Amino acid sequence: METLAVIESAPGAIAGAIEAAALSDGATETGREMFVRVTEDSVETPASGTGARRASYCTLDPGRFDDLVVPSEGAVEAMFDVDDVLGWLSWVDSDRVTVRFEGDAGIATRLTLAGGTDEVSVACVDDPTVLNNIETFLPTRFDGATFLDEDGTAMPTTVETTVAQLDRLVRAVDLADDGDRYPLHVRDDGVAVDVETERASVSAPLRADVAGPAVTNRYDESFAEVVQGLDGDVTLQTGPGEPVAFVQDRDTCTLRFVVTHA
């Protein structure tokens, strides 16, 4: 077993990167896995864990951390339990922590976290059956922060808005009990809340800047999960009958979450 990559920074900086890519809201969930790929140029999550209901592709600039070293050539890959690693990052009693990706042939079999006099090793998923079934196609569906359709063309409809506005849509659906189906109605003049059930009929505009053709798509509860895990400004990219991508281009990272239409 050899050291494949090393990240060194404050525990909060590393935990914050994991939480952002995992849409963590501070609650502990069982079985959340993250697949990461580390190179000298970036840390990225090109695929979600097994059984995930949404897809994520997030890229983190090395400048987000105090130091990032990949001694060997090529990428280093690791799949780990999100809450295990977050828990141990919180447990290490030091204002600086080193995370070593240890394994063979570019695949990490454990992460070793060391800070001060503390050291803990966390097992990674290294079952070839699991790793070989991970779909890492999502980066090919993006050109930087632009979401592409299956033919490689930019999605025609873009919505610039805030998470607070999208949360109004999520809350309207939840209050009206619309069966966990979230309708995205994009019009020429903006985004509309348009929900009708036996319990309530809701119609309201949302503040947003829209470019491209009108769209009416419906998404499952994964739409709400992404909204509830983000804050601030966000860009939605989609098309008629297409998945929707939530994109946030931040100073040291680009977050991309894709939800398939219901």
Q: Among 20, 25, 168, which Cα is nearest to 36's?
A: 20
**CB-based contact 72:124 (threshold 8 Å):** no
The distance in angstroms from the start CA to the end CA of the chain is: 44
CA distances from 73 to 47, 50, 69, 105 (A): 22, 27, 11, 10
CA distances from 194 to 101, 171, 201, 203 (A): 48, 12, 8, 5
Q: Would you kindly state where each structural domain of the chain is located, as residue ranges?
A: 2-136, 146-249
Rounded to whole angstroms, the Cα distance separating 109 from 88 reads 17
The encoded tokens of residue 122 equal: 């966390």
**Residues 6+ away with beta carbon under 8 Å from 246:** 226, 227, 230, 234, 235, 236, 255, 256, 257, 258, 259
For the domain spanning 146-249, the CATH number is 3.10.150.10
Which H helix or E strand runs over 165?
Answer: helix 163-176
Q: Could you read off the pLDDT tens digit of each residue along the chain, which spans 262 residues?
A: 899 999 999 999 999 999 988 886 544 444 588 999 999 998 998 875 455 567 889 999 999 999 999 988 889 999 999 999 999 999 999 999 999 999 998 999 999 999 999 999 999 988 888 887 787 888 999 999 999 999 999 999 999 999 999 999 999 998 888 666 899 999 988 899 988 888 888 889 999 999 999 999 999 999 999 999 899 999 999 999 999 999 998 888 999 999 987 7
Q: What is the pTM of this model?
A: 0.87
Rounded to whole angstroms, the Cα distance separating 38 from 219 reads 32
Only one residue has tokens 């890492």, namely: 136
For the domain spanning 2-136, the CATH number is 3.10.150.10
Q: Is 255 exposed, middle or buried (0-12, 13-18, 19+ CB in 10 A)?
A: buried
